[in-house]
């Protein structure tokens, strides 16, 4: 029952929409009805500026870290430490940590407080990886940063997401790979699905969403 409670709390904590709360508080805007309808830091920045973006980002990172941290305390196991490579000691995350990390991102992406709308999950996933496997957070930040620099943030973010799973497999074994999948899967699903209602779309639309995080090959989007 304690483990189930941790997973439920992970989802509900992840669902707290800090970006939308700040946008409503500071600008009187519901981000679900602004731009492309994504409740994201980028949308918040457009309506409320950098200070609001930084505040929401830190809060989202904190909530992302809180769920696997709680799961780690509950599933504390001295045998989780493992050695990978000479002189290097890595900790293999527990299954409960991986599930909590994935659910906190899923809650952010499909928040019941926003009738299923949400963000892309980047900030909470960084927070989750800081606890589960910090190298995953470095990869996500690196992909996002490089993407911004070359003006293709969607592709850069996707590259970082896809790199996480094999890297965590190499550094933390199969448990690391499972944690990578648990967090990356809801982010990729959100990219493909977006916030719109289910409807038939051409395969090219879904491919554009996956690669560029937008609905077309030419229009800009976030």
Q: Burial, 62: exposed, middle or buried (Cβ in 10 Å; 0-12, 13-18, 19+)?
A: middle
**Which helix (H) or strand (E) element contains residue 43?**
helix 41-48
Indicate the pTM of the whole model.
Answer: 0.88
pLDDT category of residue 168 using cuts at 50, 70 and 90: very high
Q: Per residue in 7-61, pLDDT tens?
A: 999 999 999 999 999 999 999 999 999 887 888 888 999 999 999 999 999 999 9
Percent share of the chain, pLDDT over 70 = 87
pLDDT category of residue 101 using cuts at 50, 70 and 90: very high
Question: Which residue did the predictor score with more confidence, 107 or 81?
Answer: 107
Q: Per residue in 138-166, pLDDT tens?
A: 999 999 999 989 988 889 999 999 999 99
Q: How many helices (H) and strands (E) does the chain have?
A: 9, 2
pLDDT value at residue 213: 82
pLDDT value at residue 1: 80
CB 155 within 8 A of CB 90: no
Local structure of 83: helix, strand or coil: strand
Percent share of the chain, pLDDT over 90 = 66
Distance between CA atoms of 47 and 106, rounded to whole angstroms?
25
Asked which of 125-134, 158-167, 211-220 is least confident by mean pLDDT, the reply is 211-220
Residue 88, Cα to own-chain centre: how many angstroms?
28
pLDDT category of residue 219 using cuts at 50, 70 and 90: very low
């Amino acid at each position: 029952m304690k483990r189930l409670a941790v997973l439920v709390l992970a989802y509900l904590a992840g669902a707290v929409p800090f970006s939308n709360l700040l946008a409503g508080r500071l600008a009187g805007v519901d981000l679900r009805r602004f731009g492309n309808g994504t409740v994201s830091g980028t949308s918040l920045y457009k309506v409320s500026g950098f200070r609001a973006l930084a505040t929401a980002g830190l809060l989202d990172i904190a909530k992302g870290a809180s769920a696997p941290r709680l799961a780690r305390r509950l599933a504390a196991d001295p045998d989780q430490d493992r050695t990978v490579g000479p002189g290097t000691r890595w900790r293999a995350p527990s299954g409960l940590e991986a599930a909590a990390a994935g659910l906190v991102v899923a809650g952010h992406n499909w928040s019941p407080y926003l009738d299923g709308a949400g963000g892309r999950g980047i900030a909470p996933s960084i927070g989750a990886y800081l606890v589960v496997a910090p190298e995953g957070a470095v990869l996500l930040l690196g992909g996002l940063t490089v993407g911004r620099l070359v003006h293709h943030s969607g592709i850069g973010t996707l590259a970082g997401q896809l790199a996480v799973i094999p890297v965590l497999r190499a550094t933390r074994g199969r448990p690391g790979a499972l944690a990578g999948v648990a967090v990356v899967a809801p982010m990729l699903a959100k990219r493909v699905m977006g916030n719109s209602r289910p409807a038939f779309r051409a395969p090219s639309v879904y491919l554009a969403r996956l690669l560029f995080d937008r609905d077309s090959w030419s229009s800009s989007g976030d």
